[in-house]
A and B are shown apart, each in its own frame.
Chain A
Amino acid sequence: MNERPDLFSLSRPNSYVGRTLSRAGARRAVAGRGRYTDDMSLPRMLHAAFVRSPHAHARIVAIDTAAARSQPGVALVMTGAELAKLCAGPWVGTLTCFPGMKSAPQHPMAAERACWVGEPVAIVVARTRAEAEDAAEHVAVKWEELPAVADKKTALDPGAPVIHPELGDNLAFRKVVDNGNAEAAFAAADLVVEATFDFGRHTAVSLEPRTLLADFDKGTGKLTITTSSQCPHMIQRVFAETLRLPDHMVQLVAPDVGGSFGLKIHTYGDELATCAAAMRLGRPVKFVADRLESFVSDIHARENHVKGRIAVSKSGEIEAFDIDVLGGAGAYSQYPRTSVLEATQVLNVTGGPYRHKHHRARATIVFQNKPPSSQYRAVGHPVGNAIGEHLVDRAAEALGIDPIEMRRRNVFPDDAYPAVTASGIKIKELSHQRCIDVLVERMRYDALRREQAELRRKGIHRGIGIACFIKSCAPGPHGYYGIGGAPISLQDACTIRLEPNGGVLCMVGVTEQGQGTDTVMAQIAASALGVPMASVRVISGDTDAVPYGGGTFGSRAVAIGGEAVYQAARDLRDEILQIAGVLLQAETGALDIVDGHVIDRAGGARRIPLAEIGRIGHFQVAELPNSLQPVLSHTRRFRLEDELYIFTNGIHGAYVEVDVDTGFTRLLKHWVVEDCGRVINPQLADEQVRGGCVQGLGGALYEHCIYDDAGQLTTGTMADYLVPMAAEMPDIDVAHVQTLTTVSELGAKGVGESGTGAAPAVVMNAINDALSPFKTCVTTQPITPEVILTALRKI
């Protein structure tokens, strides 16, 4: 049999891989006909509101719910202690791959003690949300305030209050990486640069808040959960186990999801309580987090204090990094993904683009009376890249080397792979050198430097920032969740079916939150099969419909889910050709599929349409020999074999202007060149990068969950927690270098987090470049006007 043709060749008909195609879902959204969870109502549906802790740390002495129960419209009031009795558990957010890690048992709602402001303590269910909120005000909680730990820097001090006494102290986890001989390298180095960094707490602020509609069928015992989720199967598994239901009696449906960014890969106690209420009442119950409760109940991220230093030779060769990271986990380690990945990723990726030999990195993660922190878009990378790229810039400045040249001297050369970074991670098929070349050209770097110098003479302080990065994508089963014991699939799957009229249904375990995953999967399936795009429909986000998968997180949808689609489509293609071969008395290798027709590979003559294969394969199987039993439905799973991740790389450039009198930063232009492997849909890939950049820029410049000493959130509205809006954001130039990964046939790596991962690094470098005439720099994020004016010693 002849070799299969290259199914992704752009010269083939129906080759959609590598082409910009618009999303079917977009047309629905612009008409206002999206269907988000809160748009759905069920007969006899009730609404939930929560009583939440007003204290950062307090014992629940008593809860009196009698008055609340007698309020108009109230169907149920349930306390945390009452809920705990209905549930298996409690949750403990540790993974076995983190030796020595600790976390305390956590109930879905606080049962005896509340450990952060906003922790749910009782659910009130009523006919309307307004009535539920009214009644919640009548729940009388008698609190005994306990000393709170707000500041991570004092959490381990002797005498500091211990949040969970059974743990002995507030230490969640400590990890050390010590490769090479950093101590000796620093002692012998020509130049050592040190810096101390602070990264504020952020949260995702998806425009659609967390929303869940639970419907329990008392007749069959089946729970249907419609919710805004990225990871249907994980939520199904955790909720089923906690609610003591078998997995197969819990259906999780994610309809249109209004943004997620990692926020919606997690389990939340208030959502579980909503399901429990629906089971108790036998009536549908809906919960929509309002914005104020989102700020105090969604996971937070990024809060790290870091001391870092770099050792460099006179010629500008990076010899060693040494970093010490103190991360704030919040009150509990988030179940089941934990709250320690951010800091441990910082250890892995700091200095990741460079060939230094010595790498010492320590992470200490402590508990505080704040909401649990956990995985949020580009986990750890915004912090690690900001540290590493700042130190590289400072060293270059001290040696009088241009930032671009400094990076050219130190990145792994494009022909150096496979390689292992000094932090110990395996990397291959990266392209730092080509990315630098492309960036320099697109930025018109030299001209920009000249413009900067001219303006500086006029008192206008512009800065140019450069930041290289690596990004971990598509985690494999040998990574944290898999070997750590989390109920999270690191495989993903596709079932693809040929329908009788030749149409194709493609069910995928990865999910769509607007990135265009469904469109990309259709492009892959249509290309591999040889059918028009209109012949393919993708179904995702329904555990009753799709094969088991991990969902969308960690830039894995295309790399893992896309490869599963490709392999399943290829199997279906092979079967179609097998059936066609029998019907046509032809060698299957002499046949191909183009535009929904089986054709002669030589000459291209149409022989039989797929509609005919579908008709015969489903209805007229008597026309086929008994030995040929059509299936016309194929499932494939894909996972990484040995790798922990597929790494990508790239480089950002930024051009900013700092007003040294007001401290305001204006973002003039941003560039990204990144290597996500094979680009399936160029426009969608570009927009992932752009949106990701702005999410990173928001964190770098504006966003901050500011807590006072008592553990009270002081930025709990959108008027206080500042998100990036259109007026402040720059145009973003995006380019791709495509080095295909060899772990899959598709060759796609991951693109969703490359913007977020390095934008904070590059904007900080650009601001510091602007500030360089003043012999000062900033290392605190968000880089507010106050931070800049403080660095300039103006306040």
Chain B
Amino acid sequence: MSDEETLTITLTVNGERVSRLVPVRQTLVDFLRIDLGLTGSHIGCEHGVCGACSVRVDGAVVRGCLMLAVQADGADVVTIEGLDDTGEVADLQEAFVARNALQCGYCTPGMLMTASELLREGKPASREEIRTFLSGNYCRCTGYHAIVDAVAATLAARLQASSEPERS
């Protein structure tokens, strides 16, 4: 590397503890993609509008392009690869495939990441509320209708499943 300033960071990514020397100006999403090979997080605008780089940091979904890697020192980071491995959104992924809620797939990891936050809230949401919740994630292909369908179906199924044991 050149003589640019670097720092060593240590963090947990998808449950794995990693330590790397990074340029202090490197964004979190570049670190994940370039240094760790986690290419599921995509780069769409690099100014915080499109949501393609959304990742979970210490439980909250953030823009990977608006956070520096050094700011994630000590943090617990989850990317789409981690979400996929744990099966946390397996039902949502299945709904996306069944409903064709993606076309080119470039927005999809960020869209799933954002939707996972809505699902984790565990509260009923109308189509309008789902649309508002997802409105920080740009999708050029689908027109959003199918995405809203997939999220609504997954949310409804989860709420149904969580209410059933109480009744029995």
Contacts and interface: CB of A to CB of B under 8 A. Distances in A.
Interface stretch (B5-13, B69-77, B96-104, B153-161): B96-104
B105 A256 contact: yes
A257 B84 contact: no
Interface residues of A, number: 62
B39 A514 contact: no
Nearest to B130: A726
A698 to B, nearest CB: 9
A461 to B, nearest CB: 20
A154 interface: no
B81 interface: yes
Interface string B9-37: 00000000000000101100000010000
A29 B81 CA distance: 11
B45 A29 contact: no
A39 interface: yes
Given A32-B40, A32-B109, A726 B140 contact: no
A729 B104 contact: no
Pick from A208, A288, A515 the residue with the most CB of B within 10 Å: A208
A26 B96 contact: yes
Given A72-B2, A73-B2, A259 B141 contact: yes
A729 B134 CA distance: 12
A719 B49 contact: yes
Interface residues of B, number: 61
Nearest to B2: A72
B112 A30 contact: yes
B140 A723 contact: yes
B143 A690 contact: yes
Contact of A259 (B3, B49, B104): B104
Interface of B is mostly: loop
A519 to B, nearest CB: 10
Given A36-B42, A717-B47, A690 B2 contact: no
B142 A687 contact: yes
A691 B141 contact: yes
Given A258-B42, A290-B46, A726-B148, A30 B3 contact: no
B4 to A, nearest CB: 8
A692 B98 CA distance: 20
A514 B102 contact: yes
Contacts of B131: 726-727, 729
A22 B97 contact: yes
Interface in A350-368: none
Contacts of A32: 38-41, 79-81, 83-84, 109
B145 interface: yes
Contacts of A729: 131, 143-145
Contacts of B132: 726-727
Contacts of A554: none
Nearest to B49: A718
Interface of B: 1-4, 23, 25-26, 33, 38-47, 49-50, 52, 79-81, 83-84, 93, 96-100, 102-109, 112, 127-128, 130-132, 134-148
18 contacts: A26-B97, A27-B93, A72-B3, A127-B2, A130-B25, A207-B42, A207-B104, A207-B106, A207-B140, A514-B105, A690-B146, A717-B49, A718-B138, A725-B137, A726-B130, A727-B132, A727-B134, A732-B143
Interface of A: 22-23, 25-36, 38-39, 72-73, 127-128, 130-131, 204-209, 256-261, 288, 290-291, 513-516, 683-684, 687, 690-695, 717-719, 723, 725-729, 731-732, 755
